[in-house]
């Protein structure tokens, strides 16, 4: 699932907020089955993207730094 989401935890640079948000959007699209939700579903969809992005940022910030080559 979500094979095209790129790894955000890298040894050389921190993931940007844009990268985190794009990954969250792709994940929510995949699990909801919506590329673009209807107006009725947009608030729930947008909230889910925000929640996933926040959880992702929290996780990335809490993980110990990587060493070069350790994430292969």
Residue 64's pLDDT is 84
Among 22, 20, 67, 25, which Cα is nearest to 46's? 25
pLDDT tens track, the chain, 72 positions: 556 668 888 888 889 999 999 999 999 999 999 999 999 999 999 999 999 999 999 999 999 877 765 555
Compute CA distances 67 → 17, 59, 62, 64, whole Å.
22, 17, 15, 10
Other CB atoms within 10 Å distance of the CB of residue 66 = 12
């Amino acid at each position: 699932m979500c094979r095209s989401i790129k790894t955000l935890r890298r040894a050389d640079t921190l993931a940007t907020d844009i990268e985190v948000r794009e990954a969250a959007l792709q994940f929510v699209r995949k699990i909801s089955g919506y590329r673009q939700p209807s107006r009725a579903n947009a608030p729930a969809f947008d909230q889910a993207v925000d929640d996933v992005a926040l959880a992702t940022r929290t996780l990335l910030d809490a993980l110990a730094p990587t060493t070069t080559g350790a994430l292969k």
